[in-house]
Structure 1
Amino acid sequence: MSKLPYTDFIDTLKSCSDDSSKNDVHEYMIDSGERVINFDSFSSKFLDKLYNVKDEIHTVDAICRIDGELFLIEFKNGQINKSKNTKTQISSKISNSLLLLQINENKNFVKNSSFILCYNLEKNPRRESFDLTKMQEKLNELGKIDIKEAPRFSLAKFESLYFNKVYTLTSKELSEFIEGKIFSCII
């Protein structure tokens, strides 16, 4: 089977973060001109061109290399914890995306990539019901992970299952994370 090239699907991170679920209103989660592969567009064309399938498959919004590491990026502007359906959809997008990458590249990307879920903090506030600062200080003293870095929304399971690292970042945190890093659309 011939490989579908990614070059026709290069877009900006800003464009891939567009939440157009409110009809004609566009709300971007990040204002970044970094070039990425619009994986939603790629997956639709992939199924149509290579398999003559017109059905829509749910995949992550973008893929790219950041400082040489492959990242799958999903943007969620709505509430996540309120709906089990949303968590199931994220899980499905991850699985579908890894499968399409594997088919197109004839290469396994499990444990050879990382995942970023960029979420809306206002709609998904962090729980501060306990003294997070004191707990973080104690864990840092013990050499444990920083609590802020632990994936939210039950996504930690994917770190051991599919990815090297899973990040759940707000728009601001994602902007800080990518600042000064080198992006590539070569998979």
Structure 2
Amino acid sequence: MKNKAILGLPIFCNHETTLKNTSYNDAAHRYMTESLLPVVDFDDVKTEYVRMYSCSPTPQSNDALAIIDGELYFIEFKDGNMRREIHGVKRKIFESLLLFCDIINATISFTRTRLNYILVYNKQKSEAYIKHLLEREEVQETPSLDSLMDDLGKLAHHNIDYFGLRQQFQNIYFKEVYTYKKEDFNEWLRQK
């Protein structure tokens, strides 16, 4: 099944919106992107899907399902401290994969070769956690080190895997896994 045909399924068509809308943080009353890229609100897809079943608690889900440059992406926006959020992000990944595969009648073999994942996070809310992760590796973070890591990552065309999502999920569940600070994500979108 082609990517456009997948997003053409009625359950996905019923929940079309923009990337901006899926990035909204209710608690902070702000958006993490201004992009008007058309996407599927996967939270709404999950809500429609679970209505058919009696389940409690309700599964968690990623924010958006999109086609960018012909590739399928799950996108999750996190505007809070990643120390508190990372476990929930991983749960959303697994539960979203289960729902997605059931909806399109596919297996993880499909997602491993055709579906990508992006976590977009707010660096300012997560600086202490990232510093903690770096200290575990006996690296002391400074603004200049952070800038150097970003610059080296960009030059090497390598996305830094601060939260270990690529290591855990790429090549087994997803084709590619990316972690972007919201500013870097918006720059990446402008290049697409």
State the TM-score bracket (shorter-chain normalisation).
Answer: 0.7 to 0.9
**Aligned alpha-carbon RMSD (Å):** 2.8
Find the partner of 1:12 among 4, 15, 18.
18
Mapping of residues 22-171 of structure 1, within 5 Å: 22=27, 26-48=29-51, 50-51=52-53, 53=55, 55-80=57-82, 82-83=83-84, 86-108=85-107, 109-111=110-112, 112-125=114-127, 127=131, 128-129=141-142, 131=145, 133=148, 146=156, 149-156=159-166, 157-171=168-182
Q: How many percent of aligned residue pairs carry the same amino acid? A: 29
TM-score (norm 2): 0.75
Distance 1:6 1:54 in 2: 23
Residue identity in the other structure for 2:50: L
Distance change (3 Å), C-alpha of 1:155 and 1:8: same
Shift of 1:110: 2.7
Name the SS for the 2:25 alignment partner. strand
Bigger relative contact order (CA 8 A; separation at least 6): 1
Whichever structure has more helix as a proportion of its residues is 2
Query: Which residues of structure 1 form unaligned runs of 5+?
Result: 182-187
TM-score (norm 1): 0.77
Name the SS for the 1:102 alignment partner. helix
1:185 corresponds to: none
Runs of 4+ aligned structure 1 residues displaced above 6 Å come to none
Distance 1:16 1:89 in 2: 17
Whichever structure has more strand as a proportion of its residues is 1
Distance 1:131 1:117 in 2: 22
Residue identity in the other structure for 1:123: K
Distance 2:182 2:22 in 1: 13
**How many residue pairs end up in the alignment?**
167
Q: Residues 53-91 of structure 1: CA distance to partner in whole angstroms, max 9, x if unpaired?
A: 5752210000011111110000000000x33xx222111
Distance 1:101 1:56 in 2: 15
